C-alpha cells in the first residue's frame, strides 16, 4: 500500500497533532499513530513520523530554547499545542537544512492562527523570531 503524498504543510500539521496527542496520551507512538488513523481518520506519512521522532528526541533541548526566549512564561504555563508548534519550528530550524528558517516560522504562525489564541500567536512569533535573529542556523537569502 503506498502512502498518499502529503504537502509539507499537511505533513507538519499531522506531526503537530500527533505530538499533541503524545502529551495527552500515555500510549506508545505506534499506538497513538494507530489511534490517529482509526479514530481521527488522520493522514500522516513517514515524513510526519520522522518529524515527530526528531522533535521527541530533542524535546529537552527545544524546551530549553523556548524557556530562554520566553522568560515571562514558564514552560508549564504554555499550552501543549503551543509548545508543539514551537518545537516543530525550532527543530526544523536547527536540524532540517532543507527547510528555510523563515518557512519554519511562517508555518508555525499559520498553525498558531488555527490552533492558538490571538495573544499566543504573537507570543509564538516573538519566541521564534528572537531565536532566528540570535541563531542564523542556515544561509538565508538576501531580503
- Confidence band, pLDDT 50/70/90 cuts, at residue 3: low
pTM above 0.85, yes or no: yes
Arithmetic mean of pLDDT, 10-18: 89
Arithmetic mean of pLDDT, 50-78: 93
- Confidence band, pLDDT 50/70/90 cuts, at residue 137: low
Whole-angstrom distance, CA of residue 66 vs CA of residue 142? 27
Higher-pLDDT residue of 41, 98: 98
- Which sign, positive or negative, has the C-alpha torsion 68, 74, 77, 80? positive
Q: Is 143's pLDDT higher than 50?
A: no
CATH fold of 8-134 reads N-utilizing Substance Protein B Homolog; Chain A (1.10.940)
The pLDDT > 90 percentage for the chain reads 55
Arithmetic mean of pLDDT, 58-71: 95
Q: Which long-range contacts (CB under 8 A, 24 or more apart) does 24-32 make?
A: 24/80, 29/53, 29/56
Amino acid at each position: 500500500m503506498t502512502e498518499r503524498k502529503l504537502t509539507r504543510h499537511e505533513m507538519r500539521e499531522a506531526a503537530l497533532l500527533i505530538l499533541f496527542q503524545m502529551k495527552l496520551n500515555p500510549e506508545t507512538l505506534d499506538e497513538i499513530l494507530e489511534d490517529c488513523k482509526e479514530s481521527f481518520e488522520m493522514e500522516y506519512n513517514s515524513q510526519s513520523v520522522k518529524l515527530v521522532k526528531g522533535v521527541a528526541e530533542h524535546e529537552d533541548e527545544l524546551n530549553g530554547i523556548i524557556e530562554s526566549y520566553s522568560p515571562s512564561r514558564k514552560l508549564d504555563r504554555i499550552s501543549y499545542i503551543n509548545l508543539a508548534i514551537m518545537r516543530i519550528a525550532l527543530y526544523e530550524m536547527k536540524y532540517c537544512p532543507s527547510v528555510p528558517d523563515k518557512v519554519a516560522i511562517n508555518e508555525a504562525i499559520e498553525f498558531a492562527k488555527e490552533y492558538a489564541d490571538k495573544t499566543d500567536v504573537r507570543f509564538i512569533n516573538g519566541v521564534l523570531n528572537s531565536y532566528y535573529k540570535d541563531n542564523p542556523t542556515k544561509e538565508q537569502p538576501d531580503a
